[in-house]
Amino acid sequence: MTLLSSTPPFVDLQWIRERPQALSVALADVRWYLDGSSGRDAYESGHLPGAVFVDLDRWLSGPASRKHGRNPLPIPAVFAAGMSASGIGDGDVVVAYDDAGGVIAARLVWMLRSIGHAAAVLDGGMAAYDGALETAAPAIQPRAFTERPWPADLLAGIDETVEGGAVVMDARNRDRYEGRQDPIDPRPGHIPGAVNVPCRGNLEPDGRLAQPQQLRENFRKAGIESADGVISYCGSGVTACHNLLVMEHVGLGLGRLFVGGWSQYAHASHLPIETNRPVSWLQRRHAS
C-alpha cells in the first residue's frame, strides 16, 4: 500500500509560510463535535485567515445507519463535489485544522491522501496560530476536483476486522474503550482483542504532536511496531484517521481504516464485546 502524496501528513505554520510561491495551499477548517455542537458556528465566530469551512457531516460522511455506522465514507462523487464547492482543486495542497489538536481534521486529510491528493494536518491546530482570526468567510470560486474511488487496500470491513489475524487498534479514550461509559453507542466496550491507543495520547498538552520517539513508544506499548496488518477504528471512523496518519508520520507505514467503527460494531448485537482492559495484542501473540 502506497499513498501517492509526497506532502508530509503533518505540517506547521513555518512550513506553510516558507512554501514555494508556486505551491497553492488551501486551508480547511474541519471543526466538528461529538455532542452535536455546530462546527460552522465555531468557524463563523473566528477562523484562520482565508480558511474555508468543510462540513464533516455533509461532505466527509455518507448517510448514517445501523448497518454502516454514523459516519461512513460518502460516495466519491459527493466528496468531489464538496471539495469543489469548498474551492479546493486538484492542484491545491490542503492543510486542515480544528480546535482538537487535529484529531478531527485528520478525517479530511486521510481521505484526501488515500486518493493521492496532497494534504496535511496543521500541527497544533488553531491553538498554534499566532495571529488575528477572521470572522468573514472568503469568497469561494468552485474548483475542478477529480472524482476518485476509495482505495480498497486502505479500508477494512467489519468481517475482516473481527475474523482475526489483524492487529485491531481502538483510537477512543480509555474510558470508552474499557466500557466505563459510552455517550452515544448502544453497547459500551470494544472489539474483542483490540488494543487501545487513544489518539489524544498522540498530543502534548498544548495540542501539538508529541515527539516521534514518544509516539513510537505509544504504539510499541500496544504491541505495534509496524502498521502492516493494523486496522484502526474509533467511534465512527473520524479520530481513527489520526492514528493512521501518526503511524505514517513516524515511519511505521500504512494501516487500514475500519470506517464503521464502534458505531457499526455495537449495533451488530450478534457480535461479542469486551470491557475492561485485555492483555495486549503482543501478549496474545506470544501466548498462542
What is the CATH code of the structural domain delimited by 10-149?
Answer: 3.40.250.10
Residue 157: partners with Cβ closer than 8 Å, 6 or more residues away? 258, 260
- Which residue ranges does the chain devote to CATH 3.40.250.10? 10-149, 153-287
The catalytic site residues sit at 234
Of the two residues 132 and 164, the one the predictor is more confident about is 132
Spatial separation of the C-alpha atoms in residues 98 and 80, rounded to whole Å: 21
pLDDT of residue 283: 45
User: How far is residue 253's CA from residue 232's CA, in Å, rounded to a whole number?
Assistant: 13
Q: CB neighbours of 69 closer than 8 A, spacing ≥ 6?
A: 236, 237, 259, 260, 261, 263, 264
| 273-286 pLDDT per residue, tens | 999 865 444 444 44
Q: Which homologous superfamily does the CATH classification assign to the domain defined by 153-287?
A: Rhodanese-like domain (3.40.250.10)
Q: Residue 101 has which C-alpha cell?
A: 489538536
- The pLDDT of residue 239 is 98
User: Which residues lie below 8 Å from residue 286, measured CB to CB, with a gap of 6+?
Assistant: none
4 has a pLDDT exceeding 50:
no
Q: Tell me the mean pLDDT in the region 186-201.
A: 96
pLDDT the model gives residue 284: 46
- Has residue 147 got a pLDDT over 90? yes
Taking only the tens place, the pLDDT of each residue in 11-53 is 999 999 988 777 899 999 999 999 999 999 999 999 999 999 9
Query: Is residue 98 scored above 90 in pLDDT?
Result: yes
- For 93-115, what is the mean pLDDT? 98
Nearest CA among 235, 236, 21, 255 for reference residue 151: 255
Average pLDDT over residues 108-130: 96
Tell me the HSE value of 198 on the side-chain side, using a 13 A CA sphere. 11
pLDDT confidence of residue 6: 80
